[in-house]
Structure 1
């Protein structure tokens, strides 16, 4: 797997996941919306830790700076 997530993209994904987790923790979001957003948050965290997004690979996109 080649790295295709840049630092800014990684930061935004992690921040979004933390915000979603906070909204869930404080019961601001509930029900199906909560479950859906938590699944998205988990995907954001995993892709951030791996520095790889499968959708970026499919669309041949990379947010990494060109060397």
Structure 2
């Protein structure tokens, strides 16, 4: 698969994931909302690490500035 996430997009996702994790670990959120927040945070981190977002592929979005071979 071709990478479809740029560095700015990855940084924003990591910051959001860290914020969600902070809310969870400081017990500001709990219950079902906390579980959903942690799942979203994990998905954001994973997609940032591999630089591929499946939803971007579906909608034809590409924020990666480097041309793929």
TM-score using structure 1 length:
0.94
Using the TM superposition, give the Cα deviation of residue 65 of structure 1 relative to its aligned residue in structure 2, in angstroms. Answer: 1.9
After the TM superposition, which parts of structure 1 deviate over 2 Å for at least 4 consecutive aligned residues? none
Hey, what does 1:7 align to over in structure 2?
7
Matched, 1:36 2:36: yes
Query: 1:38 & 1:53 partners in 2: Cα distance?
Result: 18
Query: Which runs of 5 or more structure 2 residues have no equivalent in the other structure?
Result: none
TM-score using structure 2 length:
0.92
Query: Which runs of 5 or more structure 1 residues have no equivalent in the other structure?
Result: none
Aligned residues: 67
Question: What's the C-alpha RMSD, in Å, of the aligned pairs?
Answer: 1.0
Matched, 1:52 2:35: no
Using the TM superposition, give the Cα deviation of residue 64 of structure 1 relative to its aligned residue in structure 2, in angstroms. Answer: 1.3
Query: 2:27 & 2:41 partners in 1: Cα distance?
Result: 16
